[in-house]
Amino acid sequence: MSKEIPDYPLDIFTPEAVRNAREVDDALREFAPVVRLHDGTVMIARHEHVTSGLLDWKTFSSTSRPWHDPTSPRPEILLTDDPPRHTQVRKVIADALSPRALERVKAVFEQSARELLDRLRTRDTVDAVGDVAQAFVFQVLPDILGLPEKGRENMHGFSEMVWATMGPPGELFDQAMEHDYSAVIEWLETQCERSALDPEGIGEQIYAASDSGQVTLPEAKLLLQTVLSAGADTTFITMANALRAWALFPGEYEKLRADPKKVRAAFDESLRWDSPSRMAGRMATRDVEIGEYTVPAGSKVGLMFAAANRDPRYWDAPDEYRLDRDTRHSLGWGYGVHGCVGRVLATMEAQALLGEIVRQVESIELAGAYEPWMTTVGHGPIRQPVKLNFG
């Protein structure tokens, strides 16, 4: 006979909880294999159970999820689909962002990274987020998608709104929506139109799938908007976290400089060490046994990536950043059919920027306090001053 799922006594989405998300999420993971929040949402945070949940899309469906609002600014496609529809739609993005398709923009990434490092050389301290990782991604991502220059200042507001919709309503949701909502939505709707795009950009390749009937024209636009939102924040947060980790673990950075080919491994470990997404939402389509507990069919469920990526039952010394760690079962990229479709793109961006930093910067030091990104489900620094010691 299964035990009743314990009620969790804390609200994990308050501003104070978000400021201390690592400790808060780890404490939930250790409280019980599965817990119930005050609004009824069931949270699962141990590596074994999160992994199995992500792999079993039939049981943990993406078609409904905690706090889902179909009228929100988040593009309603791909993340809210299950196979077979998800498979059909995903192929459009996978083709547009395949290694072969992206090879032609690799030089764009590398040139942009060199130009950025040239500008940073004269600075005593820089912000690992705003001056480095975000500056790079917010330039190269819309460039390769073929978006016009006009209105790109709305990218961060768009991302804030999208991430806010993944968590519950509350103070942080309201703050995210304080951006000029109408300006953001107008930019999103007009600048992602096919007619506004550079015909040589990847955005046009996504729209081309509507010509062949793989998706409709409105769906192609939603897919472009999905890449624009999903491809920005998680990537720049993870790269900023890499710089932070290299400052905190200088011995690991020395190893990386001695073997620069491990930049991809360094990025993957950054994604595990401090994952940019706390959780993914799902709906249980049947009763599910989690240890001695049963998650009832119809439950809204949160599968907690970040806590699982620090689960000491699976990872040795999970709070340590280790260049040589085997991250094949890290959940930072997601898992199963909903694994990150933009992985090739994010990896190529990271190899360009982080690779250039490894080549030019002898060491990195923290130069100020870490300021957390104040959104309920996204996680990471929104500001981290560092000193880049160029060779």
With contact defined as beta carbons under 8 Å apart, do 28 and 304 qualify?
yes
* CA-CA-CA-CA torsion sign (53, 55, 59, 60): positive
34 three-state secondary structure: strand
* pLDDT tops 90 at residue 391: no
Helix (H, G, I), strand (E, B) or coil at 235: helix
- pLDDT computed for residue 1 by the predictor: 67
Distance of CA 7 to the CA centre of its chain: 28
User: So where are the chain's domains?
Assistant: 15-390
In this prediction, residue 4 has a pLDDT band, given cuts at 50, 70 and 90, of very high
pLDDT digit string (tens) for 197-231?
A: 999 999 999 999 999 999 999 999 999 988 888 77
Task: Quote the mean pLDDT of the chain.
Answer: 93
Predicted TM-score (pTM) of the model is 0.93
Residues 32 and 18: beta-carbon distance below 8 Å: no
What does the block give as tokens for 86?
Answer: 């998800």
Say what the pLDDT of residue 77 is. Answer: 67
What is the tens place of the pLDDT at every residue in 237-294?
Answer: 999 999 999 999 999 999 999 999 999 999 999 999 999 999 999 999 999 999 999 9
Over the stretch 150-208, which tens digit does the pLDDT of each residue have? 999 888 888 888 888 888 988 988 888 777 778 888 998 999 999 999 999 999 999 99
| 15-390: CATH superfamily | Cytochrome P450 (1.10.630.10)
β-bridge partners, 173: none
For 279-300, give one letter per residue: b (16+ CB within 10 A) or e. bbbbbbbeebebeebbbeeebb
Long-range CB pairs of 249-252 (<8 Å, 24+ gap) are 249/320, 249/321, 250/363, 250/364, 252/321, 252/322, 252/323
